């Protein structure tokens, strides 16, 4: 580029042409990256201009992405971070990735950058690129900030661990970079945070395989290197947990953490600590830890550890027993564990874990347990629990009362009530109907397995039976409303299908849909269900859904609301907006290869999901708007990189007029043929004509088949 062309770019930088501004942003980005002599004196001018481009509200996204790419050359200029909108709220995956790339290029250690990375991982909006950005964090303050977030933000910690397998595999262990950075900034405060993260991770119920985490195992080894007796402190930390947290702890695979920490000299003293008085699962967990440590890749001293375990009878040499003997031995262990739960040493006591354990292992236990043991199990389930429990009095309390999210406490009985129901399905299914209202009242506390269990047990629910839980879900001051609203939506939707006369769920759905404190995916599920029970004459529903639609702020809930305004209410503003958005999708595009490369736009190209509400309007009054789409496409037909977009617009228009489930629109066919005749001189319109003709033929044939089948049925 010469000085004349460069001055022309400066002159045109505020042009109203979106495409021109996008091209300017791309050229300037390249000049900045190359540190071109022409641009050195104007860096501040272009920084301001690129920030302006990055903040542009046009939905296309190309300008914003090009601008953010250009701003990456301003490494260390953290003032830029304060001027950028939060593009993690965008529906465009490419915009989100460009945003994360920019802020991490400017300063990965800055608090603003860090907060965005936490958000991207926590809400899974740009998980992969954000995780890689975390690997760039190097300063002590930034690493301390990260570790504090992992120790205190449960959602972030769960998402961080849940997606770990993406980054740590046979080819590359991405988290190794983070581990190395942590090792360089160690002090007593950092060590204490690492210890807290491990315990926190293993007491979160949703981290089912938390102990298998490479990251957790490595930070445990870091702590042990600094504090050689850490394994014993680790066991002390288990002892200090409350009963619920202990149950959670031993269900998240802690044996994998113990396995990496073990040394041969620890086996006997740790055996004396990992006993039933610590937790009923402690002995078997320690046995598993020794077996896991046997692998030298897990623990370099694995062979010595395993031999010590054999000598003390903690593990059995797998090579000395047959497969059938091994299975028999495992069954004996299962039975013994069941007996320990059912009849512990303390007189007249039992562990509630016995209900879940029996359900899990009933096929092994049924041929073994005595009639006395089975009777005691049933008696405990019925007399000691179901006959006494009042699920309507279970409580939930969130620590954060403003957001109704994060850490919460819940009545301990709720943790195993679902196990009682599954036990009942196996041992006393007919009696469960006696607890029908009690089971319905349990809905606010259910996890997914519990919801499925309730759906199997309870059918044809009435409005009167729903009254107690409707009251909970209508009360915005009741924390129980916010725990698992998805359970209510899932179950009541099934019951509404069984009993169409149900009326009361409608007001509950309206309350859930309109509450911003409830997770957006739950509100979407409620709105989808709500759409099934409203009609086009329901003015209150129209008003509610209209309030959810935010034309200037695209998100999935708003888009769903718009689709219902179109499909249910034929709302003209909503229809017009959707046509505008479809036009905005026309952009330069080359479909990436492979499923993993598919973004939102590629998905839409395949499914036409966003266009579907318009396609299904099936009213010829909207023909002019579809003709307008065809006219709009003509400006791109000669541009190779716009072909996917042109094809998208044409497929939408064809689908409106021809469909296998509807008779083709004769007026539409005539109008489209006129359009083809008028525009034959444009590139590829002959291709449109061929596809349109084929679609008419297919639609006509489909209708003929339907007619023939209908006539055959009528004759029969």
User: Distance from CA of residue 593 to its chain's centroid?
Assistant: 25
Alpha helices in 107-152 (DSSP H): 111-122, 127-134, 140-152
pLDDT at 127: 80
Residue 594: band (very low, low, confident or very high) from pLDDT cuts 50, 70, 90: very low
Please state, in angstroms and rounded to a whole number, the distance separating the CA atoms of residues 412 and 353. 12
Query: For the range 220-229, what are the long-range contacts, defined as Cβ-Cβ under 8 Å and sequence gap of 24 or more?
Result: 220/194, 220/257, 220/260, 220/261, 221/260, 221/261, 222/179, 222/182, 222/183, 222/186, 222/191, 222/194, 223/191, 223/194, 223/195, 223/198, 224/261, 226/186, 226/191, 227/191
Please state, in angstroms and rounded to a whole number, the distance separating the CA atoms of residues 349 and 353. 12
Helix (H, G, I), strand (E, B) or coil at 593: coil
The residue-averaged pLDDT of 351-365 equals 93
Residue 666: band (very low, low, confident or very high) from pLDDT cuts 50, 70, 90: confident
pLDDT at 327 over 80: no
Nearest to 30 by CA among 73, 85, 81, 91: 73
Which is more confident, 567 or 166?
Answer: 567
pLDDT at 16: 84
pLDDT at 709 over 50: no
The region that residue 136 occupies, defined by phi over 0 for left and psi between -120 and 50 for alpha, beta otherwise, is alpha
pLDDT at 43 over 60: yes
- As to burial, measured by CB atoms within 10 angstroms (0-12 exposed, 13-18 middle, 19+ buried), residue 91 is middle
The residue-averaged pLDDT of 408-435 equals 93
pLDDT at 639 over 70: yes
Contacts (Cβ under 8 Å, ≥6 apart) of 675: 627, 630, 631
The DSSP code for 659 is B
Q: What is the pLDDT of residues 120-129, one digit of tens each?
A: 998 877 888 8
Please state, in angstroms and rounded to a whole number, the distance separating the CA atoms of residues 155 and 164. 14
Contacts (Cβ under 8 Å, ≥6 apart) of 194: 147, 182, 219, 220, 222, 223
Radius of gyration of the chain (CA): 31
pLDDT at 333: 81
Nearest to 175 by CA among 183, 76, 116, 597: 183
Contacts (Cβ under 8 Å, ≥6 apart) of 297: none
Q: Percent of the chain at pLDDT above 90?
A: 65
């Amino acid at each position: 580029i010469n000085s004349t062309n460069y001055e022309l770019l400066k002159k045109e930088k505020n042009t109203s042409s979106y495409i021109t501004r996008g091209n300017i942003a791309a050229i300037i980005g390249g000049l900045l990256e190359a540190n071109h002599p022409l641009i050195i004196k104007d860096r501040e001018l272009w920084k301001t201009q690129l920030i302006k481009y990055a903040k542009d509200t046009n939905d296309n996204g190309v300008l914003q992405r090009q601008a953010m790419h250009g701003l990456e050359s301003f490494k260390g200029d953290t003032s830029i971070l304060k001027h950028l909108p939060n593009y993690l709220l965008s529906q465009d995956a490419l915009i989100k990735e460009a945003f994360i790339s920019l802020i991490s290029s400017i300063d990965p250690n800055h608090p603003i950058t860090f907060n965005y990375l936490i958000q991207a991982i926590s809400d899974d909006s740009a998980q992969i690129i954000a995780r890689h950005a975390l690997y760039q964090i190097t300063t002590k303050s930034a690493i301390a900030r990260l570790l504090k977030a992992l120790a205190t933000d449960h959602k972030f910690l769960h998402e961080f661990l849940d997606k770990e397998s993406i980054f740590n595999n046979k080819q590359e262990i991405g988290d190794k970079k983070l581990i190395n950075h942590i090792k360089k900034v160690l002090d007593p405060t950092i060590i204490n945070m690492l210890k807290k993260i491990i315990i926190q991770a293993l007491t979160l119920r949703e981290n089912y395989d938390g102990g298998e985490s490479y990251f957790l195992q490595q930070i445990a080894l870091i702590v042990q290197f600094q504090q050689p007796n850490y394994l014993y402190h680790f066991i002390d930390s288990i002892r200090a947990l409350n009963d619920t947290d202990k149950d959670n702890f031993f269900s998240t695979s802690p044996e994998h953490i113990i396995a990496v920490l073990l040394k041969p000299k620890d086996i006997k003293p740790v055996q004396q600590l990992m006993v039933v008085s610590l937790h009923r699962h402690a002995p078997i967990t320690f046995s598993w830890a020794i077996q896991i440590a046997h692998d030298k890749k897990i623990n370099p001293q694995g062979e010595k550890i395993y031999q010590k375990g054999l000598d003390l009878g903690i593990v059995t040499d797998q090579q000395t027993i047959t497969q059938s003997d091994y299975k028999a031995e495992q069954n004996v262990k299962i039975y013994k564990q069941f007996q320990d739960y059912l009849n512990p040493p303390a007189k007249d006591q039992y562990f509630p874990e016995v209900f879940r354990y029996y359900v899990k292992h009933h096929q092994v236990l049924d041929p073994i347990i005595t009639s006395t043991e089975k009777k005691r199990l049933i008696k405990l389930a019925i007399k000691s629990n179901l006959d006494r429990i009042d699920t309507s009095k279970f409580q939930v309390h969130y620590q954060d009362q403003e957001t109704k999210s994060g850490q919460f406490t819940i009545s301990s009985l709720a943790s195993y009530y679902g196990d009682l129901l599954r036990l009942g399905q196996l041992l006393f299914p007919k009696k469960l109907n006696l607890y029908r209202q009690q089971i319905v009242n349990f809905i606010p506390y259910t996890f997914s397995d519990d919801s499925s269990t309730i759906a199997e047990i309870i059918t044809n629910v009435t409005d009167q039976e729903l009254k107690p839980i409707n009251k909970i879900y209508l009360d915005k001051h009741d924390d129980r409303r916010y725990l698992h609203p998805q359970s209510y939506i899932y179950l009541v939707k099934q019951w509404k299908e069984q009993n169409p006369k149900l009326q009361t769920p409608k007001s509950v759905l309206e309350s859930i849909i309109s509450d911003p404190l409830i997770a957006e995916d739950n509100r979407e599920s409620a709105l989808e269900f709500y759409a099934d029970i409203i009609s086009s004459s329901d003015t209150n529903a129209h008003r509610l859904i209209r309030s959810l639609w935010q034309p200037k702020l695209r998100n999935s809930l708003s888009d769903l609301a718009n689709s219902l305004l179109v499909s249910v209410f034929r709302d003209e503003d909503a229809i017009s907006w959707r046509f505008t958005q479809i036009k905005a999708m026309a952009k330069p595009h080359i479909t990436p290869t492979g499923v993993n490369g598919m973004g939102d736009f590629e998905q839409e190209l395949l499914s036409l999901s966003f266009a579907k509400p318009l396609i299904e309007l099936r009213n010829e009054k909207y023909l002019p708007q579809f003709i307008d789409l065809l006219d709009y496409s003509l400006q791109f037909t000669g541009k190779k990189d716009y072909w996917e977009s042109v094809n998208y617009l044409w497929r939408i228009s064809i689908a409106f007029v021809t469909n296998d489930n509807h008779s083709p629109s004769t007026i539409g066919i005539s109008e489209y043929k006129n359009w083809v005749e008028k525009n034959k001189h444009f590139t590829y319109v002959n291709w449109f004509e061929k596809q349109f003709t084929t679609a008419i033929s297919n639609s006509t044939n489909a209708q003929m088949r339907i007619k023939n089948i209908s006539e055959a049925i009528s004759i029969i």
